Chains A and B, each alone.
Chain A
């Protein structure tokens, strides 16, 4: 008996968390989008049979995390957690439609704490299963991503359209696309400018001893300034300039709006790019440079064919940091009238409409994760062969 029991503590924590989440409020039925509403427990939300199925699945997870785990059982654990995730999503979609039947059109169903804690719990179990399946890549990916694929599918077919956030989305669909594009413009332009200025600054700092200190001092001081303060500090001088030169106003340069936003975001992008360019070039092995010079390369050729490729991964890593940071900071830019996904967040706060806040905040997080993943791929592609192994 003892040989059979060998709990995996992470999976166990996840299972206990999952079972505990069943006691919390799952869905909230609200008479309109601003009202507080009544919280419903698991069986009120999903109905008896659905609730039973979820309880049974969590108990199965609990049992699986207690027994000694071989690969086969780890797969079982991963699959159970995924079924739980999918079943939860499907049932929540069904339940929201059922709860809204016979209610006035203004009524809303929103997701409660229990739902979110269950998501966190399934993630914990999936994480544990993923680790136990180390080396089995196919199963690892299947366990990690099948829930997400199903979520994307359910969203695309409109299964979750009765959930309040999605109802909010359907009311703002056009605006959403517009602000999403604006958000991407804001951080895209600023990171691009920041990179174009930052790389030469970083290189300059490696070449000239007297440049090093001022460059780092300024960029790091600026980095500590709170974003809202920097936006604020830019507004006054910019509006003074645009009043003095009406030409600038005509081309859209004003105190508030996109101009201060892009300037501030560019300034924030500088430090990661400059620092990583500096470190990237400094860490190039002097022997490699000597070898290049010894082969008869000119100083420029050494830079282009030895230093630049060897520094590239770190430089790109700096651009990644800058991009992820800029996605977040661009949200704040909505406060100074530059638009972007922050528009929904701050409008939601202004109207005390929680769903509108979520409609802005969740896409910002997803965008940050996507940009991070994209930039990681670019970093990998930009790493010269024979160098990749050492760094990761």
Chain B
């Protein structure tokens, strides 16, 4: 009898395959959208196939979230160590203050500084994505009970060993939750990146809004919604499959 965990992964796998089949099948979209919008002359966005658009979108999010994770988690760890503790208040202050900033505004402000295209979008996604990752890393590490740490040191672990074998495993779920929030926000904000020329699933929607073509809008919106839901479920599954739980209150 498969466990609940295996079943979850199985369902997600099936959903993922179904998603790829759906977006790869241009003929199906063509027929479906023609049926829904008989008045339009073109129903498929001519710039690129749906598969390419989804791939562009995933790349955009993967690059920015990748940099976020590579820099954000170490930053969160550093300010929780004695060597970086002086900076803890200002970092927590910036992360909570910065989360009040709307992601769209951050993206918009990247344009005057960095111009149009891929770079400002990646920079804005990276910067905004840092906030939840850093914040959850700090929160996760702080929620580790101090007696567990004492026990680790008592066993003769070095600081580094305690970090990798006690603190990080115990806070992994909280950190991953931060990564998930960051990735989901990035998928949404990357859509708007299409306005400044970053490509991705936002581009058929923008083209549809400009040309008043409802078919283009659906062609971008439906896969984008599915992509975000799948990414969310994927990361939730990873969170749930971690053995330790140590949620901060």
Q: How far is the CB of A359 from chain B (nearest CB, A)?
A: 10
Query: B108 near A368 (CB under 8 angstroms)?
Result: no
CB of B87 within 8 A of CB of A10, answer yes
Interface size on A, residues (CB 8 A): 51
- Enumerate B157-216 residues with CB–CB distance to A below 8 Å: 184, 187-188, 191-192, 195-196, 201-202, 205-206, 208-209, 214
Residue total for B at the interface (Cβ-Cβ under 8 A): 43
Interface residues of A in 345-392 (CB under 8 A from B): 345-346, 348-349, 352, 354-355, 357-358, 360-362, 364-365, 368-369, 372
**What number of residue pairs across chains A and B have CB atoms under 8 A from each other?**
138
How far, in angstroms, from A58 to B81 measured CA to CA in the complex?
Answer: 29
Contact: A228 with B205, CB < 8 Å? yes
Given contacts A226-B191, A232-B208, is CB(A349)–CB(B220) below 8 Å?
A: no
| 1/0 contact string of A314-356 vs chain B (CB within 8 Å) | 0000000000100111011001100000100110110010110
Residues of A within 8 A of B82 (CB): none
Cβ B202 vs Cβ A236 within 8 A:
no
Q: A224-B184, A232-B217, A358-B112 are in contact. Are A364 and B102 (CB under 8 A)?
A: yes
Contacts of B89 in A (CB 8 A): 10, 127, 131
| Bound CA–CA A86/B229 (angstroms) | 48
A229 within 8 Å of B by Cβ? yes
Is A364 a contact partner of B205 (Cβ separation < 8 A)?
no
B60 at interface (Cβ–Cβ under 8 A)?
no
A113 in the interface, Cβ–Cβ < 8 Å?
yes
**By CB atoms of chain B within 10 A, which of A8, A124, A332 has the most?**
A332
Q: Is B221 an interface residue (CB 8 A)?
A: yes
Please classify the interface of chain B as helix (H, G, I), strand (E, B), loop, or mixed, using the class held by over half of its residues. helix
Q: Is there a chain A Cβ closer than 8 Å to B150's Cβ?
A: no
CA distance A324 to B36 in the complex (A): 36
- The residue on A at minimum CB distance from B111 is A357
Query: Taking the complex as formed, is B17 at the interface, i.e. its CB lies under 8 A from any CB of chain A?
Result: no
A265 to chain B, nearest CB (A): 13
CB pair A361 B191 closer than 8 Å: no
Q: Is the CB of A229 within 8 A of B93?
A: no
Q: Do A221 and B112 have beta carbons less than 8 Å apart?
A: no
Query: What's the dominant secondary structure at chain A's contact region?
Result: helix
- Whether B100 and A368, one on each chain, are in contact in the complex, defined by CB atoms closer than 8 angstroms, is yes
Which residues from 87 to 146 on chain B have a C-beta closer than 8 Å to any C-beta of chain A?
A: 87, 89-90, 93, 100-105, 108-109, 111-113, 116
* A361→B225 contact, CB < 8 A: no
B218 touches A331 (CB 8 A): no
Q: Which A residues from 213 to 244 make CB contacts under 8 A with B?
A: 221, 224-233, 235-236, 239
Complex alpha-carbon distance, A61 and B195, angstroms: 42
Beta-carbon contact of A331 and B104 below 8 Å? yes
Cβ contact within 8 Å between B100 and A226: no
Complex formed: what's the CA distance from A345 to B101 in Å?
Answer: 15
Q: How far is the CA of A224 from the CA of B224 in the complex (A)?
A: 10
Q: Does B247 contact A (CB under 8 A)?
A: no
| Chain B residues whose CB sits within 8 angstroms of the CB of A128 once the complex forms | 90
Assess A9 versus B108: contact at CB under 8 Å? Given A228-B192, A236-B218: no
Q: Are A361 and B205 in contact (CB under 8 A)?
A: no
Q: With contacts A230-B225, A236-B218 known, is A346 near B105, CB below 8 A?
A: no
**Smallest CB-CB A-B distances: 4 pairs:** A328-B102, A232-B221, A354-B112, A226-B188
> What is B's interface to A at a CB cutoff of 8 Å?
36, 86-87, 89-90, 93, 100-105, 108-109, 111-113, 116, 184, 187-188, 191-192, 195-196, 201-202, 205-206, 208-209, 214, 217-218, 220-222, 224-225, 228-229, 231-232
Taking Cβ atoms with an 8 Å cutoff, the residues of A that contact B are: 8-10, 13, 113, 124, 127-128, 131, 221, 224-233, 235-236, 239, 255-256, 324, 327-329, 331-332, 335-336, 342, 345-346, 348-349, 352, 354-355, 357-358, 360-362, 364-365, 368-369, 372
Q: List 30 A-B contacts (CB under 8 A).
A: A8-B86, A9-B87, A10-B87, A10-B90, A128-B90, A226-B188, A228-B191, A228-B202, A228-B221, A228-B224, A229-B188, A229-B220, A229-B228, A231-B221, A232-B221, A233-B221, A235-B214, A236-B214, A256-B209, A329-B102, A331-B102, A335-B206, A348-B111, A349-B196, A361-B104, A361-B108, A364-B102, A365-B101, A365-B102, A368-B101
